[in-house]
Structure 1
Amino acid sequence: MAIKHAAWTHGLGVELETSSWTALRQGYYTTVTPSSEGTFGWVHFVIPTPVIVDDIRLKPQTAMIRFSTGSTAKITNFHVYDGEMKIAEYNDLSLTGNLQFIGRAVPNNHQVLWGMAISLGVQFSGTAPTDYVQFISAGIDFYA
């Protein structure tokens, strides 16, 4: 089945749920670091969402992220939302490394209704120089 639409957003658009964390936005990514107030939190990507193309409601098939981590940081949760509905949930992960490209399936042949987002749980070991995640981009492939 051919991709009908692929939508990506740059890492500069990442949103922090934990207000005490720091987001250093540079031309090629956003570096997120924790604060002493908390070493676990959520970051969110709003994905530009084509709901209907050529009179057909699209279906997200794969959600993807590009990132790098310091040696003491990891992504532990990968959730996908359509509006207020969580349509994919991957937990207890340990995603780490330099220039990673990770994709997760969006199950159940879901038809897009409202607008898509990817939410990532991030765990740091503390506030050492190796506690960071650089978010490069996030996207979703859509099929008819």
Structure 2
Amino acid sequence: MTSASIKQAAWTHGLGVELETPSWSALRQGFYTTVRPSSGSTFGWVHFVIPTPVIVDGNRLRAVTAWIRYAAGSSAKITNFHVYDGEKKIAGFDGLALNANAISNDTRSVPGGPAVLWGTAISLGVQFSGNGPNDYVQFVSAGIDFYN
């Protein structure tokens, strides 16, 4: 996909993260959201709704690269990174062990750079070892690069 140039990059701030597990906590601060598990649930999903420009200048855009910006405590890791267009999963990366003690980026190519039709989202599976002081993830932002 390097022969084409990026048309749009759409990001959302970590303040907009949605928790699938209602017992988890989310401390929303100006610079990120800190997610912590509950004592009863140490694996769950968090979701980012990405603003999606599906058509620009009469051309349908393609999702090419998905990004997250985060930091995690030593007892937490991101194990799954999924990208959706509406109800269709357009990329899925499982069996990961993403952990960064300082704010870092993780980038994933969307296979085939599919045209987007319905609106995109990034879903992340998060695994905690328990609910101690190092069981947290700080989500700064998430985004997708769109090409013609």
TM-score above 0.5, yes or no? yes
The question of whether the paired residues in 1 share the 8 Å contact of 2:64 and 2:112 is answered with no
TM-score by length of 2: 0.96
Unaligned runs of 5+ in 2: none
Alignment match, 1:132 = 136
Alignment match, 1:113 = 117
Q: In the TM superposition, what is the alpha-carbon distance from 1:74 to its structure 2 partner? A: 0.3
Select 1:24's aligned residue among 23, 27, 45.
27
Distance in 1 of aligned mates of 2:103 and 2:16: 18
Spell out the pairing of 1:43-58 with structure 2 (5 A cutoff): 43-58=46-61
Distance in 2 of aligned mates of 1:116 and 1:11: 16
Distance in 2 of aligned mates of 1:115 and 1:107: 17
Alignment match, 1:103 = 107
Alignment match, 1:77 = 80
Q: In the TM superposition, what is the alpha-carbon distance from 1:109 to its structure 2 partner? A: 2.8
Q: Secondary structure at the match of 1:43?
A: strand
Select 2:43's aligned residue among 15, 29, 40.
40
CA RMSD of aligned residues (A): 0.5
Encode CA deviations 1:85-136: one digit per residue, 9 max, x unaligned: 0000000000001211000000123100000000000000000000000000
Q: Secondary structure at the match of 1:12?
A: helix
Q: One-letter code of the match for 1:136? A: V
Q: One-letter code of the match for 2:84? A: Y
Distance in 2 of aligned mates of 1:62 and 1:7: 11
Q: Secondary structure at the match of 2:6?
A: coil
Equivalent residues, number? 144
Distance in 2 of aligned mates of 1:11 and 1:95: 17
Distance in 1 of aligned mates of 2:107 and 2:117: 22
Q: Tell me whether 1:6 sits opposite 2:30 in the alignment.
A: no
TM-score by length of 1: 0.99
